[in-house]
Amino acid sequence: MTSLTTSFVSPGAMNSLINSAPAETLEITSEQRSALAERFRQVSLPHHRRLDAWMVERGAGVLTPFRWSPTTARRVLGNAALRYRLAHQVSAMAALDEVVVDHLSRAASGYARRGSLSTWLCELSTAQLALVTSDALNWSHSLEEIARSVDGAVEVADSDAYYDVATGRTTLRGRRDLISTTSEQRTIIRVRAGAPGRTAGAGLRADLTIDAFSQPTGHVAQQIIGVWPDAGLLLRVEGSLEDLKAGARDLLRVANLQHTAYFQRALAS
């Protein structure tokens, strides 16, 4: 049975969950990597695809193309701003300005690829850019509050977790915002807007599974904690073998939906 713990946001709640993490550390084996790759090869597509927890939560086989918006950009900008703020000890606004200016400079110099966040920001009007900046600043503030509520060492993740499935034409993307580490355990923290739905646990399992496979050592984090500040809720999934298997099954289920939908369209055309 998979594990899912729910608690309310309160002083000490995050530390209580972190300190109660399972002591056992699992490790992804080469046989497990090979087995996952074989399953994905069976439902591969003619083109490359990317799967993540968002698709798992919605059971999405066919998705609309990704588009940048204030909502999709705020996490990328806000996380980067907090990393800069903690590294250089500047104000939250000054850190965000540095991040935005860096993106605009890359677009202006021609180093940003088409469709990237940098090129999208460069195309915005002054009013639109102000809206994006405001959303990102609010996100950065929320993330910093959560980070400072953790007693132990915590860092803003340098990037999301990516795992390319060998010969499966598939990249898995696991979101991670904060990482709490001690000598004995590692906890991934995900920050989410709104309120958790009934499939939120499945999304956390997918993120945990992808993070584990992305680690060169194969070490599995002891747990992943989802934080919904707007709803005042915390959800935890432990890094157990059952949860990893469930996360892998959910990702494969989405891949199978995409595989079936693609060939149904091909036969109908």
Tens digits of residue pLDDT in 128-185: 999 999 999 999 999 999 999 999 899 999 999 999 998 889 999 999 999 999 877 8
> Per residue in 20-59, pLDDT tens?
988 888 999 999 999 999 999 999 999 899 999 999 998 7
Angle at 170 between CA 119 and CA 79, to 5 degrees: 45
Same domain, 120 and 99: yes
* C-beta separation of 66 from 121 below 8 A: no
Say whether pLDDT at 62 is over 60: no
* C-beta separation of 229 from 146 below 8 A: yes
Angle at 11 between CA 23 and CA 134, to 5 degrees: 105
Same domain, 197 and 234: yes
Number of CB atoms found within 10 A of residue 21's CB? 20
**pLDDT level of residue 2 (50, 70, 90 thresholds):** low
Same domain, 175 and 121: no
Q: Domains in the chain: how many in total?
A: 2
Question: What whole-number distance in Å separates Cα of residue 178 and Cα of residue 184?
Answer: 17
Q: Which residues pair with 51 in a beta bridge?
A: 172
Same domain, 128 and 168: no
Of the three residues 148, 179, 194, the one that is the final residue of a domain is: 148
Same domain, 164 and 262: yes
Same domain, 140 and 53: no
Position 264 scores a pLDDT of 84
Most confident of the ranges 2-16, 45-59, 96-110, 252-266? 96-110
Of the three residues 100, 115, 148, the one that is the final residue of a domain is: 148
Q: How far is CA 33 from the centre of its chain?
A: 20
Same domain, 138 and 173: no
Domain coverage including residue 105: 70-148
Same domain, 133 and 168: no
Position 65 scores a pLDDT of 77
Residue of 59 and 70 predicted with greater confidence: 70
- Quote the mean pLDDT of the chain: 93
Same domain, 200 and 213: yes
